[in-house]
Amino acid sequence: MMKDPFGGILLNIAFRLLVPFSVVYAVYVLILGESSPGGGFQAGVVMGFGIVLARLILGEESTIFNIKLKNSLALAGCGTFIYTMAGWLTLAGGGKFLDYSFLPFSLEPAHELHALGILMIEIGVTVCVMMTILNIMDVVVKRSEDDGSAE
């Protein structure tokens, strides 16, 4: 994580205006990802943008989005687990892989089960992409703070 904050008062004000709107927009893209352009990847990138801005502008002292490298790796794995579980639940329900009508939830119309299955995948992809962007930033910042070598 960056030790010194990058921004001054103008960047802090811009940060406080941009990040809430970007998070709301990311949730909007995530929720409507099944029926419109967008989805988990785009929502994860926009949410990752908010975390990267927080770390660049507020520096190491920021308590907002303060996720350590080990934890972000685990959360990226949890995101992968979530969207993989959507497929395995359909197999456990007796159907084919990603046949959402066999999800073990009690929803009457089949299109609601389909929407739930897609939403599970989108949420998993969002978490995985967001945490992967955070991992990449942490590794790049750590390498630049060291002597620049790969080790």
Supply the DSSP symbol for 94.
Answer: T
Give 80-128 pLDDT, tens digit per residue. 999 888 888 888 888 888 788 778 777 677 778 888 888 888 999 999 9
Residue 4 lies in a domain: no
In terms of residue numbers, what domain contains 74?
Answer: 9-145
Q: Supply the pTM of this predicted model.
A: 0.80
The number of folded domains in the chain is 1
Best CA proximity match to 52, nearest among 38, 64, 70: 64
SS (H, E, C) 32-83: CCCCCCCCHHHHHHHHHHHHHHHHHHHCCCCCCCCCCHHHHHHHHHHHHHHH
Cα separation, 103 vs 125, in Å, equals 19
Average pLDDT, the chain: 80
pLDDT at residue number 132: 92
Give 59-72 pLDDT, tens digit per residue. 766 666 667 777 88
Residue 62 lies in a domain: yes
pLDDT at residue number 61: 60
Q: By percentage, how much of the chain surpasses pLDDT 90? A: 13
Residue 127 lies in a domain: yes
Query: How many Cβ atoms sit within 10 Å of the Cβ of residue 14?
Result: 13
pLDDT at residue number 43: 92
Residue 38 lies in a domain: yes
Residue 82 lies in a domain: yes
Whether residue 26 has pLDDT greater than 70: yes
pLDDT at residue number 44: 92
Best CA proximity match to 125, nearest among 24, 43, 28, 5: 43
Give 30-45 pLDDT, tens digit per residue. 988 777 777 889 999 9
